[in-house]
Amino acid sequence: MSDINAFIDNSVKSNDVFLFMKGTPDFPQCGFSGQVVQILNYIGVEYSSANVLESDELRDGIKTFTNWPTIPQLYVKGEFVGGADIVKEMFQAGELQSLLSEKGIAVKSDA
């Protein structure tokens, strides 16, 4: 396993919720990453993230790791959930909150 794959694998397995995004949660650098950050913040879930703009190797590596062409990418308990469109649809349907609760991850009760 390459160093970048090891980093990605460790990141998604050692954090309950992990977001690969463009920018940071405090300063998203693309609208799609910003949408996912807003959703996660709204439902009050704790998460960690990595800025793919800091490394071409990471930006390319995460796409290969999941065989998913776009960023952001959200992981819950080591499993790939999806990108911005999927996360948004799941949130609007209440499925994201249910998934997090089923996995034992605390969300705000009013979300």
* Three-class SS of 44-99: CCCCEEEEHHHCHHHHHHHHHHHCCCCCCEEEECCEEEECHHHHHHHHHHCHHHHH
Q: Are 107 and 47 in contact (CB under 8 A)?
A: no
Of 80, 87, 88, 12, which Cα lies nearest the Cα of 50? 12
Q: Are 52 and 22 in contact (CB under 8 A)?
A: yes
Walk me through the domains of the chain, giving residue ranges and CATH numbers.
Answer: 3-102 (3.40.30.10)
Tell if the pTM clears 0.75, that is, is over it: yes
Segment 73-77 mean pLDDT? 98
Q: What is the pLDDT of residues 15-64, one digit of tens each?
A: 999 999 999 999 999 999 999 999 999 999 999 999 999 999 999 999 99
CA distance 88 to 78: 19
The per-residue pLDDT for 11 is 97
Q: Is the pLDDT of residue 89 over 80?
A: yes
pLDDT band at residue 2 using 50, 70 and 90 as cut-offs: confident
Q: What is the pLDDT of residues 90-110, one digit of tens each?
A: 999 999 999 999 999 999 865
CA 9 to chain centre: 13
